[in-house]
Amino acid sequence: MCLAIPMMVVKKDGSSGFVEAGGVEYKVNFDLVPDVGIGDYVIVHAGFAIKKLDQNDADETLRLFKEMENL
Amino acid sequence: MIKYIDEFRNKKAAGYLINEINKYSQIKNINIMEVCGGHTLTIMKYGLKELLPENINLLSGPGCPVCVTPQSYIDEAVALSKKKGVIITSFGDMLRVPGTKSSLLNEKSGGADIRICLSSMDAINIAGYNPDNDIVFLGIGFETTAPTIASSIQFAKKNKINNYSVLTSLKTMPEAMESLLKDDKVNIDAFICPGHVSAITGTGIYADIPCKYKKPCVVSGFEPTDMLEAVLMIVNQINNNTAFVENQYSRVVDNEGNIIAKNILNDVFEPYDAKWRGIGIIKNSGLKINKKYEEYDAVKKYSINIKKDNNIGTQCICGNILKGINKPDDCKMFAKSCTPLNPIGACMVSTEGTCNVYYKYKKV
């Protein structure tokens, strides 16, 4: 129910716009994260972008996982 | 490869994390409750229980909104679906939840106008296209979903959409987690806290749990490597004899959460003592529409009296499963008379319900 996935903002016009993941575009409402822009990643739930994903933080976690591969 | 999803399913990193968990978790049995149904799904889908050492016991919690929605709520929705001119709009899972005598799916097959929506804004659109009908949205969920429903109510008020109302059964997590810790039959050493609830609320909402009950709380992401890292964080806290709120899902979750979403939520809703299916009433654990937006509250619009719940079924142990006291295999009806196609208890209905997930991935 609280299922939500990261998707990239591809179009935005005020409150509504489109996000994309794996080639699928999906219409969402941006009222809960009004300040995001094209190219940002947002967490999408129930037709709304609910939070901006911190790409620097995500990349840092992925770097740590990469390091673990060799430990 | 889907960015920021597949990369968090790193097999080699998972192997390293499992070795570390094995190395440091030898001391004693550790009961970890994953509160969120989404986490239960990840655990079962990727076989994480089988990968972890035997002394780490993962327990599913009450974090599936469909599963904890009281039977009386379904009865009210069924009654509303029979009213002339009413269109019921709902997330799909709700349709198969059994009420006392019927389900919404039964009513739909009998001709009631019941439509599945992916978002409360879909219901707003249906209201626009059907000005002569009254649209009732079944607003269920936790803190993740509540602001999206609040936003639809604000939109309706701003745009003077008068044929839209919401029958709410919204709930909040920390109160439920605390109520479990007060239950003598429940034995939890630590919590994996719900990631997307925390995206809205921030990690601050769990602060009382380590302080008052000395139980570690780790907010986790939903991919398998995320969850293994969260388990390792809990093991380390227990080994170090500490308990605090730790955040594994920092790419999405921070301390303060989404302030805009919280403001929208607080503008529309107020807390009340909510009823949880199988658990009972938990103080201040629900959100209902406040006076400012009362014309959008289906309870007021249709003068609904919430009745007492009847028992779900004599043998159904959903309540104990939601509290982590029992597992689905302990239920006599599991995978026999109760299946996803013919669910008797609500935990078998939702795709994130503990019984449904066990049925699907344990290949019974």
Q: Which of A32, A54, A68 sits opposite B258 (nearest CB)?
A: A32
Mean pLDDT on B22-36: 88
Mean pLDDT on B104-128: 97
Contacts of A33 in chain B (CB under 8 A): 258, 260-261
| Residue A63 in contact with partner chain B when CB distance is under 8 A | no
Match domain B68-173+257-301 to its CATH number in 3.30.420.40, 1.10.540.10, 3.40.50.12780, 3.40.50.11740.
3.40.50.11740
CB pair distance less than 8 Å for A47 and B63: no
A vs B, Cβ pairs < 8 A, gives 137
Shortest alpha-carbon distance between residue A37 and chain B (Å): 16
pLDDT one-digit tens code per residue, A28-70:
999 999 999 999 999 999 999 999 999 999 999 999 998 998 8
The 3-state DSSP class for residue B110 equals: coil
Q: Would the pLDDT of B364 be above 60?
A: no
Contact in structure between B237 and B248 (CB atoms under 8 Å): no
CB pair distance less than 8 Å for A2 and B13: no
Residue B277 φ then ψ, to 5°: -55, 130
Contacts of B222 in chain A (CB under 8 A): 3
Q: What are A63-67's contacts with CB under 8 Å, separation 24+?
A: A65/B7, A65/B8, A65/B10, A65/B13, A65/B225, A66/B10, A66/B13
The three-state DSSP-derived secondary structure of B248-317 is CCCCCCCCCCCHHHHHHHHHHEEEEEEEECCCEEEEEEEEEECHHHHHHEHHHHCCCCCCCCCCCCCCCC
Which chain A residue shows the shortest CA-CA distance from B38?
A3
CB pair distance less than 8 Å for A47 and B2: no
Q: Would the pLDDT of B224 be above 80?
A: yes
Which pairing describes strands B245-247 and B56-63: parallel, antiparallel, or unpaired?
Answer: unpaired
Which pairing describes strands B134-141 and B190-193: parallel, antiparallel, or unpaired?
Answer: unpaired
For chain B, the domains span 6-66+182-247, 68-173+257-301, 318-361
Is there a common fold for B6-66+182-247 and B68-173+257-301? Answer: yes
DSSP character at residue B52: S
| Residue B64 in contact with partner chain A when CB distance is under 8 A | yes
pLDDT value at residue B308: 66
Shortest alpha-carbon distance between residue B304 and chain A (Å): 26
Q: Could you tell me the pTM of the whole model?
A: 0.94
Contact in structure between A53 and A43 (CB atoms under 8 Å): yes
CATH number at residue A18: 2.30.30.140
Match domain B6-66+182-247 to its CATH number in 3.40.50.300, 3.40.50.11750, 3.30.390.10, 1.10.150.530.
3.40.50.11750
pLDDT value at residue B231: 97
Q: Which string of b and e fits B153-188 if b means at least 16 CB within 10 Å?
A: bbbbbeeebebbbbbbbbbbbbbbbbbbbeeeebeb
**In chain A, how many domains are there?**
1
- Please say whether the dihedral angle defined by the alpha carbons of residues B297, B69, B126 and A13, taken in this order, is positive or negative: positive
pLDDT one-digit tens code per residue, B139-195:
999 999 999 999 999 999 999 999 999 999 999 999 999 999 999 999 999 999 999
pLDDT band at B363 (very low <50, low <70, confident <90, very high): low
Contacts of B199 in chain A (CB under 8 A): 4, 43, 50-51
Q: Would the pLDDT of B276 be above 70?
A: yes
Which chain A residue shows the shortest CA-CA distance from B19?
A71
Residue ranges of A 17-46 with Cβ closer than 8 A to chain B: 21-22, 29, 31-34, 41, 43, 45-46
| Residue B141 in contact with partner chain A when CB distance is under 8 A | yes
pLDDT one-digit tens code per residue, B48-80:
999 999 999 999 999 999 999 998 999 999 999
Range of the domain at A59: 5-69
Q: Which of B4, B91, B350 sits opposite A53 (nearest CB)?
A: B4
Contact in structure between B300 and B319 (CB atoms under 8 Å): no
pLDDT value at residue B185: 93
